[in-house]
Chains A and B, each alone.
Chain A
């Protein structure tokens, strides 16, 4: 029986001109979105590879130089594009792509795409995630808003009943029928993305697991939407009103909830401004060791301590270069100050994340959004992972450079390191969080999505037992 109902519904859906037109539009939009994103992705990946290779070349060909000058000359590290950013760009547009690593300072990632674009880009871009998150739910609404009410309006409900159909079978049949077109569209999109990704030569650490997980999240999202839409359709007897209510749900879930969440998160746990943040760090740094100022109080303390430790009466007699030692100690102190303040900032980001998570209970869009970005490695977490890796590398670079001077020069001597020193520095290799790490971090969000599904399914099932 269910098979017949599904067949009938699918036939009706595909006969419907509105569905045909909108499916066609979605298809065209999806193709354009994929094409544009694919091109962008290839472009960025090429730029990344070029910049990375070039940067290393520049670093290695500095020639003979004082290591601390090299530290000020600094190096850039670039953020690799994650393969699944092809499907979900996440916050990539708003985070910088490169970090300048130098002595004394921890710099923010600079040059975000959003800053280089017009305000129009804030409206949303034509990307696959836009279609997956906003447009496909609309298709579900279009298919499902009158799936029950049309039987009443067209007076076909009694005919259906007279066929001996059982309530729950009718219900399951309609549910499946509403789901099938969406699943077909989503599956096609994901298969195309997977094929596109495998066709790229340098697609990095792309894993099938990840794309399957992403697919699963979106299927869950569409299941939830189907449940909600069918619930509304079964409760409201007039198609027009059912559509309007569905539409209100869509706008609230996909547009209003995220914006309200972002305002609440900001009001509750406001970020400091850039200037404020830098000032706090500068003030705290001032109180500690200053590698460029041996007369500063803390430097004097360190000097005495070191002399005592090595049981000598003058820094000249130390078995290493005290200038470089002092420089390294001050570097370590500064790195600590940065770590503390960035730690506080991360704490705040986490708390804001908590606000978003708690609001996930009012909109299925939010958990889907977060999971999708997380799996694609384009979320805020993975940006943190990158900047933290860059900072760790920076600290390592300073240790290497100061260590070189410490070992090879005497106190108060201007040391010039030979030209081959720079290639001895290890290269920066960033590996984005693995799938299992991402999964562990996001289990709570994932369970919210599951709860959404279970709750809406139960609601739909129990209110429609006797349909």
Chain B
């Protein structure tokens, strides 16, 4: 019987041009979304390339000058940029600390349009208040980007709803359900098979379209196969989730217009209302402390410390006797005072600064906890994780840069206080920044949760069906 059903469904799908229309529509939309994502990634990669190139050129020039100095030649360089003074290097030749593009970055914009993707922390400035904001039109940020994650999370369920909201009710309204009921197959089995077939075709088309898009935009399947598998398993589970909802609504409501209204209401709740409420609650429960207050506090502290710089340097040298000058020469420069007081500034401000990051972490934990309340949140979180554009990724990046910025300063500290020159040897030992992506929570768990949702819906559907059959309200 399944064979007949399969044949009949396929025939009717092909005849109504459903499959063709759907495939074309999806292909166009997904390709457009992929193109948008790829363009952004391209821009980002190109910019990073330029910056690294520029930095390398500067470095090469510096190495040359160093070499000349070391071999006793005369050099004509602005004294403020003379590379044999360690702090000149620390200030003028910063490393590029970048967050690289991941293979799947183009599928989800996430937070990537808010933040810059590389930064050059020098020895001057606060490692905690580096400016990561990107120059963007806020309207663009408000509207968001038409990316693959939008298509899959928002549009795909609507396609499922639009083409399947009446799979059972239509048969009832046309009167063909009575005919079907006289066939040697249970109506429940038949409707489940019908839904399963539609699920099968839609999933097939979606996966094909996604694979084509990935191929088209140069995704390397060989090295990133696991990311690809994660992506498609999420998509399959999400499609299944919506099909089981459609099935359930068909069984429970069983009237085309009412089905459509109910499904629409579910869509609005799952995709708009629940995420908005969860997000709002995160902000209300864990509000970020006032930034304006931070501004005032930081300034007050700095002003206070700047008037005591000499004393701070004294204390600093007492705490770090290894940095005190051995020959009694106490001719300390701006940098000596600056580095000493900067250390104090960062120490003092640590609790204040971390209060922001802590609240953000708490917000994220809250969202992580409640992501299971809506598959839309679940999917968005997973896509951002796969794309390396989640809040966690950028937060981790900021933390890593802050650490690197300290490492950079500390590298020059012994040279500064020991009155040593910066040499070619030191140049080779300059610390460099490598971004380590945070460990993501398992996609498998999320897929399993989506499957559990689906199983529950199927189960409820079966119960409803049994009840309705007993009452005799399924067919008429």
Contact = CB atoms under 8 A, between A and B. Distances in A.
Interface in A237-253: 238-240, 243-244, 247-248, 251
B233 interface: no
Interface centre among A115, A258, A383 (most CB of B within 10 A): A115
Given A98-B291, A120-B377, A138-B268, A238 B256 contact: yes
Given A36-B284, A125-B280, A263-B145, A272 B165 contact: no
Contact of B299 (A58, A267, A380): A58
Interface centre among A96, A122, A251 (most CB of B within 10 A): A122
A349 B137 contact: yes
Contacts of B111: 119, 122
Nearest to A47: B290
Contact of B283 (A121, A145, A244): A121
27 contacts: A51-B290, A58-B299, A91-B142, A96-B133, A98-B295, A108-B131, A110-B133, A116-B288, A117-B391, A118-B363, A119-B389, A123-B275, A123-B377, A126-B277, A126-B279, A130-B276, A134-B272, A142-B261, A238-B256, A239-B256, A256-B155, A258-B144, A263-B36, A271-B135, A271-B137, A275-B51, A380-B138
A78 B292 contact: yes
B273 interface: yes
B116 A275 contact: yes
Contacts of A112: 114, 133
Contacts of B169: 240
Contact of A114 (B114, B118, B376): B114
A113 B137 CA distance: 15
Interface centre among A93, A123, A255 (most CB of B within 10 A): A123
A270 B155 CA distance: 27
Contacts of B265: 22
Given A94-B114, A94-B138, 20 more contacts: A51-B290, A54-B296, A91-B142, A97-B292, A98-B291, A115-B115, A115-B132, A115-B133, A117-B283, A119-B111, A119-B389, A125-B283, A146-B257, A240-B256, A244-B161, A255-B154, A256-B155, A258-B144, A349-B137, A352-B140
A258 B264 CA distance: 21
A358 B364 CA distance: 38
A266 interface: yes
A91 B268 contact: no
B279 A240 contact: no
A244 B165 contact: yes
Interface string B255-277: 01111110011001000110111
B395 to A, nearest CB: 10
Nearest to B153: A123
B334 interface: no
Contact of A124 (B139, B275, B391): B275
B380 to A, nearest CB: 7
B14 interface: no
B115 A50 contact: no
Interface centre among B116, B276, B282, B364 (most CB of A within 10 A): B276
B166 interface: yes
A170 B120 CA distance: 69
Given A119-B380, A123-B276, A244 B364 contact: no
A356 B139 contact: yes
B208 interface: no
B356 interface: yes
Nearest to A18: B261
A29 interface: yes
B213 interface: no
Contacts of B288: 113, 116-117
A270 B291 contact: no
Given A58-B299, A255-B154, A98 B292 contact: yes
B134 interface: yes
Contact of B158 (A18, A48, A251, A277): A251
A187 B256 CA distance: 33
B293 interface: yes
A76 B295 contact: yes
A134 B136 CA distance: 25
Interface in A68-125: 73, 76, 78, 90-91, 93-98, 100, 108, 110-125
B367 interface: yes
A108 B132 CA distance: 12
A352 B292 CA distance: 31
Interface string A8-50: 0000000000100010000001000000100000000001101
Can you list the 9 inter-chain pairs with the closest CB atoms, starting with the nearest? A240-B256, A51-B292, A239-B257, A91-B138, A94-B138, A259-B146, A258-B143, A123-B275, A111-B291
B249 interface: no
A289 interface: no
A452 to B, nearest CB: 19
A273 B150 CA distance: 24
B39 interface: yes
A58 B276 CA distance: 39
Interface string B141-173: 111111000100011001001100110010000
B122 interface: no
Given A110-B133, A116-B288, A142-B261, A263 B146 contact: yes
Interface in B25-45: 36, 39, 43
A331 to B, nearest CB: 21
A47 B293 contact: yes
Contact of B162 (A47, A93, A114, A244): A244
B303 A73 contact: yes
B405 interface: no
A69 to B, nearest CB: 10
Contacts of B375: none
A110 B260 CA distance: 45
A55 interface: yes
B57 to A, nearest CB: 14
Contacts of A270: 43
B257 A274 contact: no
B248 interface: no
A272 B439 CA distance: 32
Contacts of B391: 117-119
A247 B162 contact: yes
Contact of A247 (B264, B356, B376): B264
Contacts of A449: none
A229 B43 CA distance: 41
Contacts of B127: none
A260 interface: yes
B166 to A, nearest CB: 6
A360 B272 CA distance: 23
A18 B265 CA distance: 10
Nearest to B40: A266
Contacts of A276: 47
